[in-house]
Structure 1
Amino acid sequence: MTVVAAPENAVPARSTPRRARRRGVRPLVLNLVAVALGIGVWSLLSAIGVQGLPGPVTVADRAGELIADGTLAEDVLASLRRVLIGFALGTALAVPVGFLMGWYATARGLLEPYIQFFRTIPPLAIIPLAIVLLGIGEVPKVFVIFLAAFLSSVVAAFQGVVDVDRTLINAARVLGASDRTIFAKVVVPASTPFILVGMRIGLGSAWATLVAAELIAAQEGLGYRMQQAQLYYDLPTIFVGLITIGVLGLLMDRLLLLADRRLTSWQERR
């Protein structure tokens, strides 16, 4: 019986999960170090009196006050509602429009000029028009956020369809697959990574537009609270709003990133 010796540099099978865990722990440690360094620099700048910059303790105390009286919770719920509705509607429309533009040349020719035209116009510039046409209720606020998310996501969905490897499509046709089957089994899976990246960009655009959207006669919301604080030079409240928006946006982005990894687990990653 011949015995085959294992190579000297062979890695035991048990080490693979351990290495995966190490790769997952290291970014988390680096993230925590980055946060600690950021708070340290912030404290230092506040201590030397840079333009009256409030320190982390002052901002934390102000956040505690806003949490205690329920103001922060009301503002978070109002802003989250607007962002989620606008983002969901924008993404829900962007995906089919992007698929149409990528799959049908006629649809591309009809829709692409409008998409590219409105992409050059900042959603914030639409606010005066939105007020005139839609009033000063919730509709114009959600519409501006919807437009920001839609324009960011539709191009990604379109590009995802266009960039599908033609070899895969031709191979499916050779095997007798119909256009519907090719679209469902080849195009949609191959373009999913592009769609999810577009959704992440759209989510960032939605949050970036929120503050300006809440200029439209809002009575609650993080953007509204920050604008009111600006009138009284209330820097701690402004910082609370900024940090809250950043944390909420980061958490939502991590959820999309988790969905990306689950839905595109077939992709090779570095």
Structure 2
Amino acid sequence: MARPSLSLSASPLEDNHLHPSAVTTLAPVSPPVRPGTGRRLWGVARRVVNASAAIVVLAAVWEILPRAQVVDPTFLPPLGDVLTAWYDLLRSGELADHAQASLARSLAGFGAAIVVAIPLGLLIGWYRPVAELLNPVLELFRNTAALALLPVFVLVLGLGETSKVSIILYACAWPILLNTIAGVKSVDPLLIKSARSMGLGPYRLFQKVILPAAVPTIFTGIRLAGAYSILVLIAAEMVGAKAGLGYLINYAQYNFRVPDMYAGIITISVLGLLFNLLLVRLERRFSTWRTT
């Protein structure tokens, strides 16, 4: 007896054509989700808060201790009184005049130190005969504090602007000079040999290898010199000056205007901080070849 044959229906996937009912609608692939703007702003705000937390605590302590009579408010007024005095000096234009005079002297001496010290440091660090000639003189003067020579500058150059700019130049030149020499001498000898083996002449070798490798160390000296330009300036302005933040602090002390004295000190600190931030930005600009 013949077995009945089973008739199987064709599967919709047996041939190359899909059955209409078997077609699945595919959703478009969405791009990867990036962190939102709010999240980035929160990260920036958190970094700002962390960086300013110590300053906020210091300001709170300065405000609370004099008002609680823990310290004598006659000699350490509350921060609110100091800020009020600072605002009065700013509104009257007195603070702007003193700050302008100080910045002009500081930038003049600092700029002259850069112009003199960096080329001299490159020569001493790169050419051995120049180093052998000048090292005894450098060792003699590098250990002499700038403020110890302030009376000499005043006697020789007088009480005018020349003596103040010159003492700032002297104080700023040493960190720039010594760090420039150290930066040139600390270049990897293998880099120098490799550059020479590739046919670089002395000028191209100095331009492409020595100078870029020494830039971070040179900027370390420049940042130190920026701090010295502010510190030495204040001492110089306390001797025979008629304008400047150092003169303002000294005058306020003699006349027992204690809030004005602290207002001048705060102004100097803020100017020094802004000056250092500017130098850090410049260092990053000239050191873009470095890896992070």
1:131 match: 154
For structure 1, the residue ranges without an aligned partner over 5 or more in a row are 1-11
| Residues in 1 aligned to 2:257 and 2:205: alpha-carbon distance in whole angstroms | 57
Say if 1:48 and 1:137 are closer, same or farther in 2 by CA, change over 3 A. Answer: same
| Residues in 2 aligned to 1:176 and 1:139: alpha-carbon distance in whole angstroms | 48
1:189 match: 212
Scaled by the length of structure 1, what TM-score is found? 0.89
Q: Pick which of 160-169 and 209-218 moved more.
A: 209-218
Letter in 1 for 2:50: L
2:5 match: none
2:201 match: 178
1:245 match: 268
Say if 1:258 and 1:44 are closer, same or farther in 2 by CA, change over 3 A. Answer: same
2:89 match: 66
**CA distances 1:169-214 after superposition (whole Å, capped 9, x unpaired):** 1000001111111001101100011111110000001111011111
| Residues in 2 aligned to 1:137 and 1:174: alpha-carbon distance in whole angstroms | 55
Residue 99 of structure 2 aligns to a residue whose secondary structure is: helix
Mapped contact 1:192–1:264 kept (Cα < 8 A)? yes
Deviation at 1:14, TM superposition (A): 5.5
Q: Does 1:51 align with 2:72?
A: yes
Structural RMSD (CA): 2.1
Say if 1:159 and 1:25 are closer, same or farther in 2 by CA, change over 3 A. Answer: farther
Equivalent residue runs for 1:149-228 within 5 Å: 149-228=172-251
Mapped contact 1:141–1:216 kept (Cα < 8 A)? no
Letter in 1 for 2:109: G
Say if 1:124 and 1:34 are closer, same or farther in 2 by CA, change over 3 A. Answer: same
Higher helix share: 1
Q: Does 1:148 align with 2:154?
A: no
Q: Pick which of 102-111 and 21-30 moved more.
A: 21-30
Mapped contact 1:152–1:205 kept (Cα < 8 A)? no
| Residues in 1 aligned to 2:159 and 2:138: alpha-carbon distance in whole angstroms | 26
| Residues in 1 aligned to 2:262 and 2:33: alpha-carbon distance in whole angstroms | 49
1:99 match: 122
Letter in 1 for 2:63: S
1:41 match: 61
| Residues in 2 aligned to 1:252 and 1:158: alpha-carbon distance in whole angstroms | 24
1:31 match: 51
Say if 1:191 and 1:230 are closer, same or farther in 2 by CA, change over 3 A. Answer: same
Mapped contact 1:169–1:182 kept (Cα < 8 A)? yes
Q: Does 1:262 align with 2:285?
A: yes
Deviation at 1:125, TM superposition (A): 1.0
For structure 2, the residue ranges without an aligned partner over 5 or more in a row are 1-31
Say if 1:22 and 1:167 are closer, same or farther in 2 by CA, change over 3 A. Answer: farther
Letter in 1 for 2:103: L
Equivalent residue runs for 1:13-24 within 5 Å: none
Say if 1:107 and 1:169 are closer, same or farther in 2 by CA, change over 3 A. Answer: same
Say if 1:106 and 1:82 are closer, same or farther in 2 by CA, change over 3 A. Answer: same
1:7 match: none
Which of structures 1 and 2 has the bigger CA Rg?
2
Letter in 2 for 1:230: Q
**CA distances 1:212-237 after superposition (whole Å, capped 9, x unpaired):** 11123110000001011111222211
Letter in 2 for 1:51: D
Residue 183 of structure 2 aligns to a residue whose secondary structure is: helix
Scaled by the length of structure 2, what TM-score is found? 0.82
Mapped contact 1:115–1:151 kept (Cα < 8 A)? no
Which of 107, 113, 125 aligns to 1:84? It is 107
Say if 1:188 and 1:214 are closer, same or farther in 2 by CA, change over 3 A. Answer: same
Mapped contact 1:153–1:195 kept (Cα < 8 A)? yes
